[in-house]
Every structure is written in C-alpha cells, then in structure tokens.
Amino acid sequence: MAACKEQLAASRLSLNGIRALQAVAQQEHYPLGRALQRWLSCRLVERLKMCPPSELNKARGSASQAESRTKVTLTIDMVTDKGALDELVQMQSLAYDVPATSSRGKALRTVQFHSPDLLLQALGMAAPLRNWCLSRRFARKDGSTPARVLLEWLCDDQGSTWYVLRRHPTGELVDVAVREDEVFDPLCHAYAHPLVRKTIPVASLLRLMPACPASLRWCPAGVTGILAFDERHTCGKLTLTLPCCVVELATNEVLGLVEAAVDGPVEGAPDSGVSGVVRGGQ
C-alpha cells in the first residue's frame, strides 16, 4: 500500500510538471500576436492621453457645431507582417471578413467589431483601462473641459446630433441618444433639452455607417510581389480604427451616457441575449 501511494504521488508530480510546461508553451505560442497586441495598446493609450484641440473657435451657428465635426474616427497605423495579425486573430479567437480586394488588386484582411469595447478587449485591456479609453475628460489652460468619447455619432439634416450607443446583433435595431433640439443656453451652460435614449430601426438613420467603424485592417505593401516573401512574412500596413467624438459642451451628460451604455442596454429595449460577438463587416 505504501509503495502504491508513493507511485501515485510521483505520478501527480510528473503530471503537474507537464501542465506547467504546457502553460509556458501556450504563453509563447503567439509571440508576434502578443507583441502586436502590446504595441497597439501602448500606441492607443498614448493617443488618448493627448488633449484634443479646441473646436469652439471654429464653430459657426448652432452650438451643435461646437463639437468636432471634422473627424468621426480615430486611427493608428503601423507597419507589420501578416503573420503577426494572424497570430492575434487566432490568439483572441477572432475571425477575418470574407477576403476583400482593393481597387489596385491588393488582398486585404479586416477584422470588424460590433463595438469599440470589443476591440479594446481584443487588445487585452482590463475593464478599468477600457473604461478609461472609452471616455476621458480634459482640462485646458483656458478653463474649458472637453471630453473625448469612443462613440459613433452622426448629424442629420436638421442639425441634430445622434449618439449611437449600441448596435443590435440582428443588424436591424440600434440604441441611440438624441435631443429634441440643439438649443444651448450659455448662461446655464446646458442644453434646453436633455439627451433621450431610445431604440430605433437602423433604416431610419440614413447617414449611419453600414458597420461600426471599429476594426483592424491590414493591406500588403506594394513591393510584396517583387520580394516574393512567404505569405506569413508579407509586410504591409495595419490600421486600427475606432469611432471618436470630441464634445465641448455639456460633457457630463455625454460621459454619463457612455457609462450607462457600457453598464447595460437601454431601458425597455429588447435584449439580444448576445454579447462579445465579432462578425465580418463591409
């Protein structure tokens, strides 16, 4: 009996050792993907730390024009080989879109995300850091306190600003927030009407992009064919894209909107029962 116990203990030690080696091997299984993940995370945090330039002095007309209208996305470019993106995709259990081809015949690789938060998760960011990235308030020397939020938005023909909080996985509905009008009271430093959250059909927002502009997109370099490298080591440009909006006025209301959108769906909206899904986009 004693001999059997010793053999069992030895077997358990051997098994634990094998598991430890397997864990180390798993950590080193995607070295390029992990390096790419860390590099993109660092670059993104560096960009988001920078205070956006003031748009108020460029605004003309209604207060809604005091928000950044020139850019709807934030992009980060880097040069990397296709193998690094392949490893990141495998490591995070993502999926490429159906292979697309540009006008010049270059094979593109795109990973489309339902929301900015899902892209940040793919970069390995913990929840506190993701929240820091999704919404930030700044303080300028002139006393203004703008906010940058990683949120889709659009402006309709009447000048109203629509904030896109969540796209439903069915692709037919979208959770949004909008004001009755964009009248701003400079004395109270507040809009006449608050933002109202609601769920509407996607078709009713004519200027809404076909898919959320949160993606990783890789395009091979122009000399790839001449160099004849192995496909895995093909060099190209990788672009990280996130929706972005800079808010100059009534920032508390918009920041609260983003926090509520991250915490849960719109009250009274149908529950999709699906979260964290990465799909192919346009």
Give per-residue pLDDT as tens, 7-62: 655 555 445 555 654 554 555 689 999 999 999 999 999 999 999 887 655 544 44
- The region of weakest confidence among 154-158, 225-229, 234-238 is 225-229
Q: How many domains does the chain have?
A: 1
Whether residue 111 has pLDDT greater than 90: yes
- Please give the residue range of the domain that contains residue 173: 29-279
3 in a structural domain: no
State how far the alpha carbon of 50 is from the alpha carbons of 130, 203, 209, 256, 272, in Å. Answer: 16, 36, 27, 21, 36
Mean pLDDT of the chain: 78
214 domain-assigned: yes
Residue 71 vs residue 274, higher pLDDT = 71
Most confident among 9-18, 53-62, 232-241, 248-257 (mean pLDDT)? 232-241
Let me know if residue 22 belongs to a domain.
no
Is residue 9 domain-resident?
A: no
Mean pLDDT of 233-253: 89
Residue 277, pLDDT score: 30
pLDDT of residue 39: 96
Q: Answer whether residue 5 is part of any domain.
A: no
Task: For residue 129, tell me if it sits in a domain.
Answer: yes
Mean pLDDT of 225-249: 80
Does residue 151 belong to any structural domain of this protein? yes
Q: Does residue 8 sit within a domain?
A: no
Q: Which two tokens stand for residue 4?
A: 């059997």
**268 pLDDT tier (thresholds 50, 70, 90):** very low
